[in-house]
Structure 1
Amino acid sequence: MSDPSHPSSVHGHGKSSSPIDITATLQNHDLQLQEIKTLLHQLVLARDQKSHRSHSHHRGSSLHKEPKISLPSFYGMTSTYDYLNWEMKIEQIFYCHHVDHERRVVSATFSFHDGVMHWWTAYSRDLLIHRYPPINFWNELRSALRKRYLPYFYDREIINQLHRLNQKELSVDQYRQKMELLLLRAGIREEPRLTIARFLNGLSFAIRGRVELLTYHDLNDLVQICIREEDQLQCKSSFQKNSSSLSKSLSKDVVGSSRRFSKEGDVLKHLDKSVLLSSSKDGDDSIR
């Protein structure tokens, strides 16, 4: 019969673990955890080094790829159309040189001088004082510049000019360029058939009457047809002017020659009378 005071009899037939075994097991677990932490730390360091090399390479390649660009200067004290032309040039340079969106605001503000530079400094300071988010993108800067340098009725005026646009004394190509410029500045993007109808509506009556029933595929085809008809009308008009001037000169020559002939006829008649009188006097003298 077993003694109940013996440690082995407390858990029945199970083996009891000694304090030495538990300590060894804990130490073993600690060593494994330390090895895992060391391995994780090495992995994190390797990842950070790889990310840093990749970022440095990307930054170096981007700096190598992005050339130095020269932007047109903007002084602020210009007309509405001067500002719009500057804005269009800036956007063309950004597009052609593939300038990043993060660099566009910095690049554009470097071209500010005099009044616009003073305005931009005060505007940025006000944003900082009132804890508004700073301007980081070109679209935001363009909106602020338009609000500063374009009149409040600009959009309405551009749309009115577009609706009133007619060819008048412009050539077909000049008329088309003006229409496209107004569409661009008004921010209107319409279907091609609507643009064709707008173009036809403003054409001169002489050209529109000759092309509106012809077949064309798009606006470019229609413009080329109109240019050809315009050349034909100009040739016809110049021919008519030349023929009219020629007929006028011929009529002047005929009138002058007839007047000259009439004068010569009067002279001949006068001579004939004088000859007859002299001959009659000679006859009378002979008879006497």
Structure 2
Amino acid sequence: MTESYTFTIKNESGRLDKFLADQLPDHSRSQIQGWIKDEQVTVNSEPSKANYKLQQDDVIALSIPEPVEIDAQPEDIAIDIVYEDKDVVVINKPQGMVVHPSLGHESGTLVNALLYHIKDLSGINGKIRPGIVHRIDKDTSGLLMVAKNDVAHEKLAEQLQDKTAGREYIGLVHGVIQNDRGTIDAPIGRDPKNRKKYKVVENGKPSVTHFEVIERFNDYTLLKLNLETGRTHQIRVHLEYIGFRMAGDPLYGPRKTLEGPGQFLHAASLQFVHPTSGERLSFSAPLPESFEQTLDYIRRL
């Protein structure tokens, strides 16, 4: 169903695309620019350009087209299945793999691989995210749970919501953290200045990350990190907020950082109660070889 919006400018408000991005936080600025180019946005009943400078009393009309349905197809992609039974699968996702298809990532995702290797997957999240109970970033490696039926999916999702499922990460940050452990309790929302990023903002969603130092180096610290909440980019945002940016992170890290395919962040362990048996299960996955090699390198610095 097409969504329609109308906005009347009370004061001069800068560029048209930026104004719409601020009004529609669930849509990217590039997506909005595409709508403007396709003349789905008008200003005073006339097509406009993304860089149009809005004036007082301008009337903006926008019709958001129905999203194009992406049809996820099974693909013979090797995946590391750590555990599988009739209800649950635990996957050790490699760094660089997107979890589910989206515009720009229609193939090569974990979902494409799951559709090939796993006979049944829950349908709660539709055709694009079958079985996916939670996600980890493309360039974060490690464990995530997948549901094979809707009952299992609901029970696993409840554990994430109730904070009874355990998720532990290993991360490498720039700088030497002096405290052996700590808690970052700071709300996270979308960064108003960069649509691709999130940041700590006053009106953000409650977010809590616990950390413990594993090893200190000359200019880096290796951390064990536990999530109480599961916000997008939560660990990366929280560590940037306290001044210790994730090594290798192209989005939140410093410009001069360790070489690698992405941030040095690994979902190392996962615990949850089995949705049928009631048994508490625990899984662990070793650091990727590239991560271990980087640790060996900085130990010698």
TM class by shorter-chain length?
under 0.3
Q: Write 1 or 2 for the structure with the bigger share of helix.
A: 1
TM-score normalised to structure 1 length:
0.26
Higher relative contact order (CA 8 A, sep 6+): 2
TM-score normalised to structure 2 length:
0.25
* Structure ID, larger Rg: 1
